[in-house]
Structure 1
C-alpha cells in the first residue's frame, strides 16, 4: 500500500454506514403483513360471490391493473426512499401514469354516458365505506413496511412514511378487488385512490417520528 493511500484511509475514519440487512429480514415482515391483509379481507368482507363472472369482464382487469401498477410504483418508491441518496426523479411519473391513464378512460366514459348515468358511474353503491375499507386493510402491511424501513437508513422521513403508506394502500386496494362489486373506472379512479391516500397521509404525518434513526 502506498503511503498516500494509507494516510487517506486513516484520515477518513471508520466506516459507520449501517450494514445491509439480509433480504429475508425485509421479506418476512412484508409477507406477514400481506397475509394479514388477505386474512382480514376474507374474515371481515369475503370474496364476492360472482368473482368468476366478474373476472370475465375487461372492467375487472382494468381495476386490478390500476391497483397493481400503483402497488408496484408504491413499493419502488418505498424501496428507494428507504436508502439515502437514491434517485427518485422518475417516481412521480411511475405513480402518476396509471392515475392519468385511468382518469382519461373515466373521462371518456362520462362523456359517452347520458346525464342520468353519470351519477351512478361516480358514486356507485359503496362510496361511503370503500376508501375506509381499503385503508383498514392496509394497516397490517403499513405497519410491516414502517418496521422494515426503520431498520434501513431513510433520510427523507416524511416522504418515506408517505411511500410506505401508499404502497400498503395500493396493495390493500388490489386485495379489496376480490370483494368489491364496483366495476366503473370512474368509481375506481376516485374512491380507490382516496383509499390509498388515507394511509399515505398517515405515513407522511408519522414518518418523521417512527422512522427516525
Structure 2
C-alpha cells in the first residue's frame, strides 16, 4: 500500500454500527437458525415425549413453556442492546430477566408449601435432575453459535456481558425446545433445573464472548 493510500485509509471515519433494520434481520436469522437447530438436535437425540398430544391440554405444560420463553424474550432485549455500542441496558432490562425467575420460584414455593413434607424432595428432583440441566446446556450450543453470529455483526463493546446475555438467550431457546421432550411438570423441578441449564449456557457465553465476539 502506498503512503498516500495509507493516510487516506487512516483518515476515513469509522463506519457507524448497523441500524435497527439490519439488527432485526440478523437477530431474526440467528434466532430462527438457533431455535431450529436446537429443536432438530433435541428431536434426533432425545425425541418428543410420546404423550405430547395429550399433555398439551394440561395448563401446566404451557406455564412451564412460558418460563424459558419469558426469559428468552427478556434476554433478547438485553442482548440487542448490548450488541450496539453506546446503548444502555437499564434497570428495566435486567429486571425483565429476573421477573420470570421470581414468578417461577414463587409458584414453586406455593407448590412445595402445599405438598406433604415427604414429597417435597421428589418434587424438586423429579426423575431426571441428573441430566436435565446438562441436556439444556448441550442443546444450547448450536443456538449460541447462531446468536453469536448475530451479535458479532452489531459491533458490541462489552464482550463478556454481551456473551453472557447471548448465552442466556440461547439457553432459553434450548429449554423451550426441551419442553417438548421433558416429562417433568412440577414447578419446583423446572424452576430449578431449567434455570440452571440456562445459567450454564449464559456462563459459556460469557467465557466465549471476549474471543468470539471480537470484531
CA deviations 1:42-92 (Å, max 9, x no partner) are 100111011122112222111011111011111111111100121311122
Partner of 1:14: 13
CA deviations 1:189-210 (Å, max 9, x no partner) are 1000000011100111121121
Partner of 1:83: 84
Q: Offset at 1:25?
A: 4.2
Structure 2: gaps of 5 or more residues: 1-11
Partner of 2:116: 114
- Written as runs of structure 1 = structure 2, the 5 A alignment for 1:181-200 is 181-200=183-202
| Runs of 4+ with deviation above 6 angstroms | none
Partner of 2:55: 54
Query: Under a length normalisation based on structure 2, what TM-score does the superposition of the two structures give?
Result: 0.88
**RMSD value over aligned CA atoms?**
1.7
Distance 1:67 1:195 in 2: 11
Structure 1: gaps of 5 or more residues: 1-12
Change (3 A) 1:155 1:36: same
Q: Offset at 1:122?
A: 0.2
Change (3 A) 1:19 1:127: closer
Partner of 1:155: 157
Residue 74 (str. 1) matches residue 75 (str. 2): yes
Aligned length: 202
